[in-house]
């Protein structure tokens, strides 16, 4: 089944899976693209040479501060969480956007057998919206629905430049950010699997589990955590921490490497993390 212009099959899955494809009302202020959010990141390969982010066709004419939409989003998340450090909000914002991209891609792959081209220049983003992130795809262009294509759509086109931008601007550890991407993927797969089994679609549930497992085996995500995917569902335990526990009144996430929030360490001050550490 090919993609329909409105991606209507995603609607029953809920907010994280929805993707607007209808233009905003006339007179609405133009939304930035995700290419704008990544604009100051120089495309290139990662440390292992495994991926080459697709550059924006035209460079962004402005510096990343203070008008970059990613910067705006991180500040909004920081205010909502009362985050004690910018990197806490940056990590949470990173994972939230990754979750939206994985949800749309997995949902389409499992339900349609195709995925939309989510090139950053085609995706408009409202950084001032509430969670989950508000995305609008300006043109629905179908691509194959296999794991390799899905990895290109999300990992190459988005997670790689997003991770580079967050690391460069906020000094969040790259290992932590790839852990965020893996956690977001596993969460999307888990919700899709649960929905499919609840509505009596075992074929969709099986495809969701297979896609999630295949994508978590990608070289950029392999080693980020331990996956269990069987007929009982999807479970994931990451080997890093997203730092959410550092926000006032929060705790550890369900897939966190920590069983409980760790106490601050005098030998590793919160305000001076190692930028290359594997976790928070």
| DSSP three-state, residue 241 | coil
Tokens in use for 213?
Answer: 């497992």
Tokens in use for 104?
Answer: 């749309």
Q: How confident is the model at residue 26 (pLDDT cuts 50, 70, 90)?
A: confident
Mean pLDDT for the stretch of residues 68-89: 95
Q: Does residue 280 surpass a pLDDT of 80?
A: no
Contact criterion met (CB below 8 Å) for 44 and 161: no
Per-residue pLDDT at 275: 28
Contacts of 190 (CB under 8 A, 6+ apart): 212, 233, 234, 235, 236
The reported pTM is 0.85
Q: Give tens-digit pLDDT for 160-219.
A: 999 999 999 999 999 999 999 999 999 999 999 999 999 999 999 999 999 999 999 999
Give the start-to-end residue ranges of the domains of the chain. Answer: 8-22+32-41+64-246
Look up tokens 């057998």; give the residue.
113
């Amino acid at each position: 089944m090919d993609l329909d212009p409105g991606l209507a099959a995603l609607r029953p899955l809920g907010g994280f899976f929805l993707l607007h494809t209808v233009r905003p009302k006339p007179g609405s202020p133009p939304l930035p693209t995700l290419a704008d959010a990544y604009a100051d990141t120089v495309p290139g390969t990662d440390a292992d040479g495994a991926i080459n982010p697709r550059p924006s066709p035209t460079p962004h004419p402005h510096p990343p501060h203070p008008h970059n939409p990613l910067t705006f989003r991180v500040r909004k998340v920081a205010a909502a969480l009362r985050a004690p450090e910018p990197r806490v909000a940056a990590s949470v914002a990173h994972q939230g956007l990754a979750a939206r991209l994985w949800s749309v891609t997995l949902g389409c792959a499992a339900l349609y057998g195709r995925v939309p081209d989510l090139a950053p220049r085609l995706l408009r983003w409202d950084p001032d919206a509430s969670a989950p992130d508000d995305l609008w795809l300006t043109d629905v262009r179908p691509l194959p629905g296999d794991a390799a294509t899905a990895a290109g759509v999300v990992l190459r086109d988005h997670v790689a430049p997003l991770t580079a931008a967050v690391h460069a601007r906020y000094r969040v550890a790259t290992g932590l950010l790839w852990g965020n991407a893996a956690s977001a993927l596993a969460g999307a797969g888990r919700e899709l699997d649960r929905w499919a089994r609840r509505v009596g679609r075992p074929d969709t549930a099986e495809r969701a589990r297979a896609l999630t497992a295949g994508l978590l085996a990608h070289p950029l995500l392999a080693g980020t955590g331990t996956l269990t995917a069987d007929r009982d569902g999807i479970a994931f335990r990451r080997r890093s921490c997203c730092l959410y526990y550092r926000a006032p009144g929060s705790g550890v996430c369900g897939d966190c490497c920590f069983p409980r929030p760790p106490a601050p360490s005098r030998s590793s001050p919160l305000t001076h993390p190692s930028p290359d550490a594997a976790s928070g």
